[in-house]
Chain A
Amino acid sequence: MMDQSVQVNQKENPFLSEVTQASGEKIQACFQCQKCSAGCPIAYAMDILPNQMLRHIQYDHREKVLTSKTIWICASCYTCSVRCPNNIDITRIMDTLRNLSIRSGVEPGEKDIPVFHNVFLDTIKTRGRIHELSLILQFKSKTKDFLKDAGLGWKMFRKGKIKILPSRFGGGKEIQEIFNAFEKGERR
């Protein structure tokens, strides 16, 4: 059978090598059938469609990819991955791109989403578990959008869905050990 993969010299394309290595996925196998984008429930809101994303990586467009909205609004639903005829796990690649975007320190294409992830991880680090009310309040204190969903919050509170105090338990220390090891760079 004819090899239909895009022929790009990886030596002249550091970004393709970087993403291929970090994700373990064969990005060059994409032949642009666009099945990923056709099935993506969020494609309508993306600035770069999933199939275009793979092409940009093949062409070494590092900054365009890492500053895109797409990598952040991808909901990780795996529809693209299961439908790719070349078995490329596109959802996994999106994770790799988000990780790279954070590590490269570029301005993210979506403002609030990476902030939310940070607050979420901070909450795990301090408490070991997610206490939803603390998470929401901390996120709101960063985005300054206190009115959004305030009515809904009150409704949920009255239904007994919002727990006021976090649970007490002993696993928190071990979680801090993990975070500390990562911050010191011992676990990479």
Chain B
Amino acid sequence: MKEISYYPGCSLHGTAREYDDSIRGVSKLLNIGLHELEDWTCCGASSAHCTDEELAIELAARNLAIAQKSDRELLVPCVACYSRFKAVEKEVKDHSKKVYFHYEGNVPIRYALDFFCDSEILEEVKKKRVKPLSGLKVACYYGCLTVRPPKVTGIRDYENPQHMDRLMKLLGADPVPWSYKTDCCGASLVMTRTDIVRKLNDRLLSMAMEAEADCLVTGCPMCQANLDTRQEELEKETGKKYDLPILYFTELMGLALGHRDVKKWFNRHITDPIKVLTARGLM
């Protein structure tokens, strides 16, 4: 059994509950033991680095200081948190920065999608897959911070990443080629400049539908909330029809691994995924 520390972050305790539940569910099926960091606090997200770069480092660093008490890797499912933690790592390691809650810079920080794409885990998935997602066309949407900037994420094919595509193929799904894999959805402006966000959403949803995807797959709680919740509102503005479910990659893993709670996860979505999954004979 693999043991790993877990920093869920604020979104996964709120709007992204199904991401948290599906990570926990899938980990259990794959014999991965998750240890939630005790007393973790918010990473500071966009608002901290937009306001005060120094404060942003301190807020994120406190959590890494907790994680370094064990020698386990740290699993981080939210890309905003992941990006902030990697920023701390860079400051501490490359610039010898001293932070308030002492941190050495040695915790291996693993973004959830990267972690679940490790070859040993993929082997396990291959063995335990009970329901191949045959016939399901998925648009793999990586977004911004999962791949950029490469000096932080270490991703080499950052303009056309492939790891989620490979995972989806392994689950039996059919990833469609499309050009908007790493385009921004504007999530940091969702409360303030909703007009900009709607424009970016329209572009992403329309292009995924043009590529004939049944659903869009993401590993980011902000992209998911952003793209899932505003489709009806967008229809009124553009006159187009969307109805494109936005799924977490871990939910599709759960479906292929035969997890019994998948319906519960899917029921929390605003744009219903059950319809298309039923039509493809997967539910």
Interface size (B, Cβ < 8 Å)?
Answer: 57
CB pair A163 B14 closer than 8 Å:
yes
CB pair B41 A171 closer than 8 Å:
yes
Chain B CB within 8 A of A64 CB: no
CB distance from A152 to the nearest CB of B (A): 6
In the complex formed, the residue of A with least CB distance to B230 is: A152
Chain B CB within 8 A of A86 CB: no
CA distance A167 to B10 in the complex (A): 10
CA distance A96 to B54 in the complex (A): 11
CA distance A52 to B101 in the complex (A): 40
Contacts of A177 in B (CB 8 A): 100
CB pair B148 A132 closer than 8 Å:
no
CA distance A160 to B267 in the complex (A): 9
**Given A41-B200, A128-B41, A178-B59: A78 and B144 interface contact (C-beta under 8 Å):** yes
Contacts of A184 in B (CB 8 A): none
CB distance from A70 to the nearest CB of B (A): 12
CA distance A131 to B10 in the complex (A): 7
CB distance from B269 to the nearest CB of A (A): 7
CB pair A77 B144 closer than 8 Å:
yes
CB distance from B98 to the nearest CB of A (A): 10
CA distance A172 to B59 in the complex (A): 11
Contacts of B200 in A (CB 8 A): 41-42
Partner of A131 from B14, B47, B54, B195 at Cβ < 8 Å:
B14
The bracket for how many chain A residues form the interface is: 35 or more
CA distance A171 to B67 in the complex (A): 14
**Given A136-B191, A156-B270, A162-B15: A77 and B42 interface contact (C-beta under 8 Å):** no
CB pair A171 B10 closer than 8 Å:
no
CA distance A120 to B269 in the complex (A): 25
Chain B CB within 8 A of A161 CB: yes
Partner of B189 from A113, A133, A178 at Cβ < 8 Å:
A113
Contacts of B196 in A (CB 8 A): 42, 45, 73
- The stretch among B116-124, B180-188, B209-217, B244-252 that forms the contact with chain A is B180-188
Partner of A159 from B39, B62, B230, B270 at Cβ < 8 Å:
B270
Contacts of B230 in A (CB 8 A): 152
CA distance A66 to B186 in the complex (A): 22
Contacts of A128 in B (CB 8 A): 41-42
**Given A132-B10, A160-B17: A82 and B52 interface contact (C-beta under 8 Å):** no
Chain A CB within 8 A of B46 CB: yes
CB pair B62 A178 closer than 8 Å:
yes
Residues 218 to 248 of chain B near chain A (Cβ within 8 Å): 229-230, 233
Chain A CB within 8 A of B49 CB: yes
Chain B CB within 8 A of A144 CB: no
CB distance from B270 to the nearest CB of A (A): 6
Partner of A81 from B54, B149, B159, B182 at Cβ < 8 Å:
B149
CB pair A139 B53 closer than 8 Å:
no
CB distance from B267 to the nearest CB of A (A): 7
Chain B CB within 8 A of A130 CB: yes
Chain B CB within 8 A of A18 CB: no
CB pair B191 A155 closer than 8 Å:
no
**Given A129-B13, A162-B14, A175-B62: A91 and B51 interface contact (C-beta under 8 Å):** no
Contacts of B161 in A (CB 8 A): none
CB pair B50 A73 closer than 8 Å:
no
CA distance A96 to B39 in the complex (A): 30
**Given A117-B47, A175-B59, A182-B52: A132 and B100 interface contact (C-beta under 8 Å):** no
Contacts of B270 in A (CB 8 A): 155-156, 159
Partner of B10 from A41, A130, A162 at Cβ < 8 Å:
A130
Kindly name the residue among B42, B45, B182 whose own CB sees the greatest number of chain A CB atoms within 10 A: B42
28 chain-A/chain-B pairs, Cβ below 8 angstroms: A41-B200, A41-B203, A75-B144, A77-B144, A78-B149, A79-B144, A99-B51, A102-B51, A112-B193, A113-B189, A116-B47, A118-B47, A120-B46, A120-B48, A129-B13, A130-B10, A152-B230, A152-B233, A159-B269, A161-B14, A161-B268, A170-B39, A171-B39, A174-B101, A175-B42, A178-B100, A182-B54, A182-B55
6 A-B pairs closest in CB distance: A77-B184, A120-B47, A171-B39, A78-B148, A130-B10, A117-B47
Which A residues form the contact surface with B (CB < 8 A)?
A: 41-42, 44-45, 73, 75-79, 81-82, 89, 91, 95-96, 98-99, 102, 110, 112-114, 116-118, 120-121, 124, 128-133, 136, 139, 148-149, 152, 155-156, 159-163, 167, 169-172, 174-175, 177-179, 181-182, 187-188
